[in-house]
């Protein structure tokens, strides 16, 4: 993501391979997990995971909770 302008994603068809990796991990785990957890499971850097998780939050696809200095993320449940 290195300084690029990133737009909100409106459709899964808009996702690149890294984003698809992160989404897959998010959907496999129904509980709040840390940025480090998602970075490790998707085999990407913490900074990349954090940037994409923020993008997904902005897109309304995931929940975010901050506890102390840690960020926790979870996919929104489909109704």
Give per-residue pLDDT as tens, 6-30: 566 666 677 889 999 999 999 998 8
Q: Does residue 8 belong to any structural domain of this protein?
A: no
Q: Does residue 11 belong to any structural domain of this protein?
A: no
Q: Does residue 53 belong to any structural domain of this protein?
A: yes
Q: Is the pLDDT of residue 4 over 80?
A: no
Q: What is the mean pLDDT of residues 63-79?
A: 89
Per-residue pLDDT, 78? 60
For residue 41, CA distances in Å to 10, 73, 79 come to: 24, 13, 26
Q: Does residue 56 belong to any structural domain of this protein?
A: yes
Sheet holding 33-34, edge to edge: 33-34, 70-75, 62-67
- The enclosing domain of 49 has a CATH number of 1.10.10.10
Q: What is the C-alpha to C-alpha distance for residues 14 and 31, in angstroms, rounded to an integer? A: 25
């Amino acid at each position: 993501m290195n300084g690029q302008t990133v737009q909100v994603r409106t459709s899964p068809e808009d996702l690149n391979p890294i984003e698809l990796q992160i989404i897959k991990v998010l959907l496999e785990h129904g509980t709040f997990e840390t940025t480090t957890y998602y970075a490790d499971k998707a085999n990407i850097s913490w900074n990349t995971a954090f940037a994409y998780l923020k993008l997904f939050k902005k897109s309304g696809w995931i929940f975010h909770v901050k506890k102390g200095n840690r960020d926790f993320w979870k996919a929104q449940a489909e109704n």
